[in-house]
Amino acid sequence: MNVSPKVIIRAALLLAAAAALAVAAVQLRDKRQTAELTVENIEEQINALDPVTRAAVIARLSSDEVKKVRSQHR
């Protein structure tokens, strides 16, 4: 049985593409886990604040985000 070089190259490219996708999937999963842990940490810190300070922090964060959105739409 004689396999043409073209078939071997295609198989190698498919294998390389599959490996690259697997690596990308692992990296994406790691980044998602990091983001989830960061959000959890921030929520814990905000929840640990007294009610008045917590309200002030949330108001400030909300205000900052509104400013960002408005500046992007100009």
Which range marks the domain in which residue 17 is found?
5-72
Domain count, the chain: 1
Query: For residues 25 and 30, what is the distance between their CA atoms, to the nearest angstrom?
Result: 9
Q: How many helices (H) and strands (E) does the chain have?
A: 2, 0
pLDDT digits (tens, 9 = 90+) for 56-72: 999 999 999 999 998 98
pTM: 0.61
pLDDT digits (tens, 9 = 90+) for 30-55: 999 999 999 999 999 999 999 999 99
